[in-house]
Chain A
Amino acid sequence: MDLSQFAQQTINALSLGSIYALVAIGLGVVFSIARMVNFAHGELLTIAGYTLYGLFGRVPWPVAIAGAIAAASAAAVVMERGVFRRVKSADPVALLIVSFALSLMIQAVLLIMMGGTAKSIDYPSWVQASFTLGGVNVAWRDVATCVVTFAVLIALVRFLKQSVVGLALRASAEDRDVARLLGVDPRKVIVAAFAISGALAGLAGIMWFSNSGTVTPSSGFEPLMKGFIAAVLGGLGSLGGAVVAGLGLGILEILLRNVLPDGMLGLSDGLVFVAIIVVLLIRPEGLFGKVGREV
């Protein structure tokens, strides 16, 4: 592989890794605050995808994008208020099962409403366009993905450090009782966490579907799995861990795709899942997580 190809693949890897990181962060926010793993998170990406399908071409593309993010965020809040909140059992596995059931149900509804055939999303033309920089072919899509993810991360960190809502979220993640003692309404905090995770998922979905250009009811499964792996490996409560693990996973995937012969592709997935079991056994808080904040 020559230098330009290497640069190409690096950009691919960073772009893919950014999406995984966003999904991982979304899962992590909900985990930190609501103490649950939301298996229906992938469907939030799918919902964003179908929203784009419906809006692109009918409204200016910034509106479509905003709409997709809003739809995913709203769906997440509905999940929380409609379903998760009602599960009285504090057992996180009960919530996991419920989220799993919800995931399949949403897929079934999407299948009924939109049909099983892949719907083609009409991204604006500049997304698929590319430019050449020093012999390297760079897709605008990848640039946008990396830049936007970077910007969102910075905004998120500032939000968490400086806004009162952000402080309340961090406080609730660390010690729910103390947050209550300080006057923080736990219900509002949980809703905020879901809303944020939904928005992040929506963004991730927009970027994910810009790659394939199509969406099906079960599209959300793959990015969910990848993001989930990154979240567990990096530490579900750790923002930095999610980013590092997400990017790392993206790099690993592109690396293996180029290095391994075709037949062995599934093996890299298998190895990653073995890694998950090992990490859960040895360092349950994740590679970068804080002790005590375990799954």
Chain B
Amino acid sequence: MNAETRGGRHLRTLAGIAILGAVVVLVGLTYGGASATTERVFVLFAINLVAAIGLQTFMGTTGVVSFGHIAFMGIGAYAAALLTTPSVLKKSSIPDAPGFLRDADLSFLPATVLAVLFTCFVGCLVGFAIVRLSGTSATISTYALLVIVGIAIINLPDVTRGNQTFYGIPKETTVGMAILFAVAAIAVARVFQDSRVGLLLRASREDQLSAAGSGVPVRRYRLYAWVLSIAIVAAGGSLYAHYVTAISPASFSLQLTFVVVTMVIIGGRGTSGAFVGALLVTAINEIMRQFNGQISIGSVETEVGSLTPLILGTIVIAIMVRRPGGLLGDREIDDVLAPLGRRLRLRAGKTEQPTAEKG
């Protein structure tokens, strides 16, 4: 590791957050505000980003692949939607729901906070089990969670309308909100990643036995990572629900799971990695969508859209074969730019000789 001062490290964290945040704000204000279409693309990107960063907060620090986070995105979405949807509507869409839910008429942000808290509570309960597993067992268990939550949502039709669409959610997600959530997610994730807990977790990622032996409470720290990651993902769920205004269990399925997991795997293990992954996958999705209509491959005609899983899948496999750590690996955007910064400082007037420091 870099023998930087603590101050230096904090500066790096800030720099990382600032750079990514600035990109989000700039892109959001210019591109996102340009037209209705670009607004849609940007907001979806922001939602993807929040989801990916949430997932990465767990996967990147613990090394465990989770297929279950989308379940918590769903819980966050439904919880927030239940609180913000006008009670007038709820009286007819979910007439049998408990009174306090039916009559709730909260505004977006308070509802999101409550939803996040609720989701974290649920997540914490199952987290106790999940952090006791590792490797394939953990991944399989998180997949089991996805299925279980999906079934739970379907089997509580009084509250969720079961299989049917839950509609009428107020459209509170503007470009501004999207930017806010995205930057907040970046900040929270990056601070955690660089915190003592985060660093210790990442150090023990590959070798859990020796970490536990040296007194690192791996399980407890993993639980922190788990709950925090769920909080972020739940917030993303609320953001999503208040953009599409109608959700159903099918929205939070294996398909979405694959897309978000793909983002994290392609991008890499850090916050910047999740950013790059989200950018890339959203871009590919949108590009594929632009080509409306059919395309002929040999004698077969098909919708261009159906090629998207093939492209994403090929990229995932290629990454797993050649760079299992993802495009960025463990590096952050500030790691890449640090050497540049140093050179600029030298040129700016400090006449000291460049010492043999890490470059």
> A and B bound?
yes
Name A residues whose Cβ lies closer than 8 Å to a Cβ of B.
37, 83, 86-89, 91-94, 96-98, 100-102, 104-105, 107-109, 111-113, 232, 263-264, 266-267, 269-270, 273-274, 276-277, 280-281, 284, 294-295
The CA of A232 and the CA of B147, in the complex, are separated in Å by 16
Taking a contact as CB atoms under 8 Å apart, the answer to whether A280 and B317 are in contact is no
Taking a contact as CB atoms under 8 Å apart, the answer to whether B148 and A87 are in contact is no
Taking a contact as CB atoms under 8 Å apart, the answer to whether A93 and B65 are in contact is yes
Closest chain B residue, CB of each to CB of A113: B300
Q: B316's contact among A101, A109, A266, by CB below 8 Å, is which?
A: A101
Closest chain A residue, CB of each to CB of B141: A277
Taking a contact as CB atoms under 8 Å apart, the answer to whether B309 and A97 are in contact is no
Mark out the residues of chain B between 137 and 179 whose CB falls within 8 Å of any chain A CB in the assembled complex: 137, 139-141, 144-145, 147-148, 151-152, 154-155
Query: Number of B residues contacting the other chain (C-beta, 8 Å)?
Result: 39
Name B residues whose Cβ lies closer than 8 Å to a Cβ of A.
64-65, 129, 132-133, 135-137, 139-141, 144-145, 147-148, 151-152, 154-155, 258, 261-262, 265, 297, 300, 302, 306-310, 312-314, 316-317, 320-321, 324
Closest CB pairs A-B (n = 8): A105-B313, A270-B151, A108-B309, A273-B144, A101-B313, A101-B316, A112-B302, A266-B151
Within the complex, what minimum Cβ distance (angstroms) separates A286 from chain B? Answer: 11
Given known A-B contacts A280-B133, A280-B137, A295-B137, A97 and B151 have beta carbons under 8 A apart: no
Taking a contact as CB atoms under 8 Å apart, the answer to whether A276 and B306 are in contact is no
Interface Cβ pair total, 8 Å cutoff: 109
Q: Which residues of A sit under 8 angstroms from B316, Cβ to Cβ?
A: 97-98, 101
4 new A-B pairs (CB below 8 Å) besides A108-B308, A113-B300? A94-B320, A98-B320, A101-B317, A277-B129
Taking a contact as CB atoms under 8 Å apart, the answer to whether B141 and A280 are in contact is yes
Within the complex, what minimum Cβ distance (angstroms) separates A21 from chain B? Answer: 19
Taking a contact as CB atoms under 8 Å apart, the answer to whether B317 and A281 are in contact is no
Q: B317's contact among A92, A102, A274, by CB below 8 Å, is which?
A: A102
23 A–B pairs (Cβ distance < 8 Å), ordered by A: A37-B136, A87-B324, A89-B320, A93-B64, A94-B324, A96-B136, A96-B139, A97-B316, A97-B320, A98-B317, A101-B312, A101-B313, A104-B258, A104-B309, A105-B310, A107-B309, A108-B306, A111-B306, A274-B144, A277-B144, A280-B140, A281-B132, A284-B133
> Which of A96, A100, A284 has the most chain B CB within a 10 Å cutoff?
A100
- DSSP majority for the B interface? helix
Given known A-B contacts A112-B297, A264-B155, A269-B151, A276 and B136 have beta carbons under 8 A apart: no
Within the complex, what minimum Cβ distance (angstroms) separates A283 from chain B? Answer: 11
Given known A-B contacts A87-B321, A277-B129, A93 and B151 have beta carbons under 8 A apart: no
Given known A-B contacts A97-B316, A273-B147, A91 and B141 have beta carbons under 8 A apart: no
Q: Which residues of A sit under 8 angstroms from B145, Cβ to Cβ?
A: 277
Within the complex, what minimum Cβ distance (angstroms) separates A93 from chain B? Answer: 5
Given known A-B contacts A92-B136, A113-B300, A276 and B141 have beta carbons under 8 A apart: yes
Within the complex, what minimum Cβ distance (angstroms) separates B282 from chain A? Answer: 18
The CA of A102 and the CA of B148, in the complex, are separated in Å by 24
Q: Which residues of A sit under 8 angstroms from B139, Cβ to Cβ?
A: 93, 96
Taking a contact as CB atoms under 8 Å apart, the answer to whether A267 and B321 are in contact is no
> Which of B135, B262, B265 has the most chain A CB within a 10 Å cutoff?
B135
